Amino acid sequence: MKSSQMIHLLLFFSILGAVLDVSLGDDLSEALQLLKVKAQLNDPSGVLNNWSPEAHVCKWYGVTCSDDQSKVVGLNLTNSGLSGPISPDYGFLTSLEMLDLSLNSLTGSIPPELSKLQNLKSLLLHSNSLSGEIPVELGLLKKLQVLRIGNNLLSGKITPDIGNLSELRVLGLAYCQFNGSIPPEIGSLKNLMYLDLETNGLSGRIPQEISSCEVLEIFAASNNKLEGEILSWVGSLKELQTLNLANNSLTGPIPTEIGGLSNLRYLNLLGNKLTGEIPRELNGLVQLETLDLSKNNLSGSISLSATQLKNLSALFLSDNKLTGGVPNNFCSSTSSLIQLVLARNELSGEFPMELINCSSLQQLDLSDNSFEGSLPSSLDRLQELTDLILNNNSFTGVLPPEIGNISTMENLYLSHNMFTGSIPEHLGKLDKLSILHLFENQMNGSIPRELTDCTSLTEIDFYGNHFSGSIPATIGKLKNLVVLHLRQNELSGPVPPSLGYCTKLQLLALADNKLSGFLPPTFQFLSELSTLTLYNNSLEGPLPESFSLLKSLRKINFSHNRFEGTITALCGLHLLTAIDLTNNSFSGPIPSILGMSMNLTRIRLAHNHLTGNIPSQLGQLTKLIFLDLSFNNLDGNVPSQLSNCGKLEHLLLSNNNFTGAIPSWLGGLEELGELDLSFNALQGLIPGELGNCSKLLKLSLHSNNLSGLIPPEIGNLIALNVLDLQKNNLSGTIPSTIKQCTKLFELRLSENFLTGPIPSELGRLTELQVILDLSWNSFSGEIPSSLGNMVKLERLNLSSNQLQGEVPPSLGELTSLHMLNLSNNHLQGRLPPTFSKFRLSSFLGNKDLCGPPLASCSSQAMEKSLSKGEVAGIVAAIVFISALICLAMLYIMLRIWCNWRRVLISSSEGSGAELKREEMWIHGNEKRRNNSDYWKMNSWLAPSHDKHPSSTCIFHLKMDAESPSRTSA
C-alpha cells in the first residue's frame, strides 16, 4: 500500500514538473522543493493552500523572493499551526537568507542538511517540539547572524562549533534541556550582542572568554546549575544592558566592577548563594531600572539609594540577612521607585520614615522582619500605593485612620503583628481595596459597618483577634467576596442572612466564636462555596434542606455546636471530601446516600445520637481515610463492604452497640493506623488477621465480650504504639511474640482471665512509657526482673493477681515511675528503698512484704534468717530462762516475808534498844534511798546486820506456823 502511494506521489511530481516548467521557468527547482516540504507538513489551518502551480512561487504564503523574483530568499511560516518534521529538502533552497519556522508544533531533529544554506543569515526554529542535539553542521553557516532554537526539547551539550559563526549577533538557546558547560568558544563571537542560555541544565563556571564579546548587550543564563564566583571580568562588558544570572549556585561577593556598567538596565542575581555586603558601587548604575538581589546570603546594611539610582523602578532585596533599617535620603521627589521588596531579612527599627518620600511607590513589602512601633499617620502621602505588605513584624498601636485616604490601595497585608484597637471606619473609603488581612493581631472592637462599603473586597481574613459584636448585617454588599475568614474571635449573635448574597464566596470560616441561632436559608445561594467551617460556636436547630444545593462544597466542619435533626441535607454532595459533625445532637440513621459522595476522605460523626446500622453504601467510598462514628447509638454488625475502603487509616467505632465478631477482613486494610472498637458488645475471638495491618499504631478493643487467646499474630504489629485489650474475657497467656512490638508505649491487658507467668520478654518493650497494666488477671510466678529495662515507664499496675516471690530490685531503678500498684498478690520480702515514695495502698494485700512504706523488715528478717530447729531452741531457752526468773522472784519474796516475820518476833521479845536500833536502820535506809542516784535492791533485801542464815529463817517460819501461841505471848 505504501509503495503504491509512493509511485503515485512520484508520478504526481513528474506531471507537476512538466506543468511548472511552463509556468515557473527558472523557479522550477525551488518550487518543487517547497512542495515537497508542504507534503511532509500537517496544515490544519490551511495556511499553505496557495502553494500550488496556479500561483507564482513568490506569491505563496510566507515566501519572500529576490528583487528580480528569480530566487526564494526568505521563508516565514511562524505561528502557522504547522506540525510534522523539518524537511531536509530545505537544504536545496540555497538562496535562502531567512528561515523562520518558530511558534509551531514541529517535531523531530534539526536536519544537518540545513548547513547547505550558505547564504542563511537568520534561522528561527524556537518554540516548537524539536528534539535531539544541535547538529555540528550548523557551525558551517558562516553568514548566520541570528540563531534562535530555544524553547524546544533539544538536549545534549552545546556544540563548540557555534564558535565558528563569526557573524553571529543573536544566539538564543533558552528553555531546552542542554547540559554540560557553557562552551568557551562562544568568546570567539566578537559580534555577539544577544546571548540567552536560561532555563537549561548547564553547569560549571561561566567562562571568562565571554569577556571578549565586547558588544554584548544581553546575557541571560538564569535557571541553570552554574557555580563559582562572578568574576571581575564582567565589568569589561561595557555595552551590557541586561545581566540575568538568577537561580544558579553562584557564590562569593557581588563584584564591585558591575557598578561600572553604565548602560545596565536590568540586573538579576536572585536565587544564588552570594555573600558579603551589597557594593555601594552599584549606585553608579544610573540607567538601572530593575535590580533583584533576593534569595541570597547577603548581609550588612542596605547601601543602595533610589535618590542616586534615579531610573530604578523595581528593587528586590528579600530573603537575605540584611540588617539595620532603610538608609537616610533613600528616596527623593525625583525618584522613580515603584516596587520595593525587603521581605524576609533581619531589618529592624520603627517604620522607615524615609519611605514616605518615595511618592511614586506602588508596592511596598517589609514583611517578615523585626520592625516595631506604630505606623505613621503620614502614610497617606504615598498616594500611588496599591500594595502595603507589613505582615510578620512587631508593629504595635492602632491602625492610623489616614490609611483610608490612600484611594489607590488594593491589597493591605498587616497580619501577624501586635496591632491593637479597632478597625478604623475610614477604611470604608477604599473602594479599590481587594485584600484585607489582619489575622493574628490583638485587635478588638466590632467590625465596622463601613467596611462593607469596600465593594471590591475579595478576601477578608481577621483570624485570631478579639473582635466582638455581630457580623455586620450589611455584609451581603460585598458581592465580590471570595474568602471570609473570621475564625477565633469573640463574635456573637446570629449569622446575618445577607451573607447568603455574597454569591462568589468559596471559603467561609466562622469557627471558634460565640455565634448562635439558626443558619439562614439564604445559604442556598452560595453556589460556589467550597469550604464551610462553623465549629466551636453555639449554633442550633436543624440544617436547612437547601444545603443539598451547594454542589461545590468540599469541606464541611460543623463540630461542637448544638445542631439537631438529621444530616440528610449534607448528603449527595458529589465533590465533598471532608465532613465533620462531631459533638452535636444529630439523630436518626446515617443516610445511605452519603455513599454517593465518592470523593470523601474524612467522615467524623462522633458524639451525636445517630442510630441504626452503618450503611453498606459507605463501602463505595474507596478514597476514605478517616471514619469516626464513635459515641453514638449505632448497632448491628460492622458491614463487610467497608473492606473496599482500602485507603482507610483511622476506623473509630467505639462507644456504640455493635454486636457480632470482629471481622477478619479488617486484616486486609493495609493502611490502617488506628482501630478503636472499644465499649461495644462485640464477642468471639480476636482475629489473627489483624496482624497483617503492619502500619497499625493503635489497637483498642477494651470493654467488649471478647474471649479466647490473645493471638500471637499481634507480634507482627511492629509499629504498634497502643494496645488496649482490657475489660474482656480473654484467657491464656500473654504471647511471647509481643516482644516484637518494640514501639509500644501503652499496654493495657487488665480485667481479663489471663494466666501463667508474666513473660520476661516484656522487658524488651523499652519504649513503654504511659502504662503497663496487667491488673485483675490470674498471673502467677514471680515478677520478671527484666521489667526494670522499661526506664521510660510512668505507671505500672500488677495488682490483683497471684504473683509471688520478691519484688525485683531492678524495679526500684525505674526513675520515671510515678504510679505503682502491686497490691493483692502473694509477694514477700523487702521492697526496694525507692518505693518508699509510693502510697501504702500500692502494696497492701501482700502479707509478707516489708520495708517503707510498709512495716520495718528487722523482726521478719531475723525470723527468716533462722532454721526451724534454731527457732525451737531459742523458744526453749526463753521458756527455761523465764522459769529461772520466776523461781528467783519466788525465793526473793520468801526472804522478804521471812525478814518481816523475824522483825515482828524481835520487836516483841527484844529490848527497847534493839527496837531503836532497828528503826534507825530502816529510817537510815530510807534516807539513803531518797538521796542517792541509784537504789541497790540487794541492800534492802539483805541488810548487813542480819546474822541469821536463810535456812534458819525458813526453819523459824515453819516453827512459827506450828506454834502460834508463842508468837502471841
- Residues 842, 818: contact at Cβ < 8 Å? no
The DSSP line for 347-360 is EEEE--GGGGG-TT
The DSSP line for 885-918 is HHHHHHHHHHHHHHHHHHHHHHHHHS-HHHHHHH
pLDDT tier at 493 (50, 70, 90 boundaries)?
very high
Q: By three-state DSSP, how is residue 66 classified?
A: coil
**Main-chain phi, psi angles of 448, to 5 degrees:** -65, 140
651 pLDDT above the threshold of 80 = yes
* DSSP single-letter state for residue 661: B
pLDDT at 53: 87
956 pLDDT above the threshold of 60 = no
pLDDT at 500: 95
15 pLDDT above the threshold of 90 = no
Residue 142 CA neighbour count, 13 Å, CB half? 1
pLDDT tier at 269 (50, 70, 90 boundaries)?
very high
Nearest to 797 by CA among 781, 782, 813, 818: 818
Q: How do residues 277-319 score in pLDDT, each as one tens digit?
A: 999 999 999 999 999 999 999 999 999 999 999 999 999 999 9
pLDDT tier at 891 (50, 70, 90 boundaries)?
confident
Q: How do residues 415-442 score in pLDDT, each as one tens digit?
A: 999 999 999 999 999 999 999 999 999 9
pLDDT at 54: 86
- The residues near 374 (Cβ < 8 Å, ≥ 6 apart) are 350, 351, 395, 396, 397, 398, 400
623 pLDDT above the threshold of 50 = yes
pLDDT tier at 885 (50, 70, 90 boundaries)?
confident
Q: Counting runs of H as helices and runs of E as strands, what totals does the chain give?
A: 8, 66
The average confidence (pLDDT) of the chain is 89
pLDDT at 600: 96
Q: How do residues 561-599 score in pLDDT, each as one tens digit?
A: 999 999 999 988 999 999 999 999 999 999 999 999 999
Task: Please tell me which residue, 935 or 474, carries the higher pLDDT value.
Answer: 474
pLDDT tier at 23 (50, 70, 90 boundaries)?
very low
Q: By three-state DSSP, how is residue 641 classified?
A: helix
209 pLDDT above the threshold of 50 = yes
449 pLDDT above the threshold of 80 = yes
* DSSP single-letter state for residue 181: B
Measured distance CA(278)–CA(284) in Å, rounded = 13
pLDDT tier at 948 (50, 70, 90 boundaries)?
very low
Measured distance CA(694)–CA(304) in Å, rounded = 60
Measured distance CA(591)–CA(194) in Å, rounded = 67
H/E element, 538 = strand 538-541
Q: Could you tell me the CA-to-CA distances from 52 to 48, 56, 101 in Å, in that order?
A: 9, 8, 20
pLDDT tier at 863 (50, 70, 90 boundaries)?
very low
Residue count of the chain, please give it: 969
**Main-chain phi, psi angles of 538, to 5 degrees:** -125, 35
**Main-chain phi, psi angles of 477, to 5 degrees:** -70, -20
Measured distance CA(893)–CA(412) in Å, rounded = 113
- Residues 194, 218: contact at Cβ < 8 Å? yes
Q: How do residues 669-708 score in pLDDT, each as one tens digit?
A: 999 999 999 999 999 999 999 999 999 999 999 999 999 9
Nearest to 748 by CA among 788, 698, 792, 789: 698
Question: Which residues sit opposite 930 in a β-bridge?
Answer: none
680 CB neighbour count, 10 Å cutoff: 25
Range in 201-205, 776-780, 847-851, 883-887 the model is least confident about: 883-887
944 CB neighbour count, 10 Å cutoff: 7
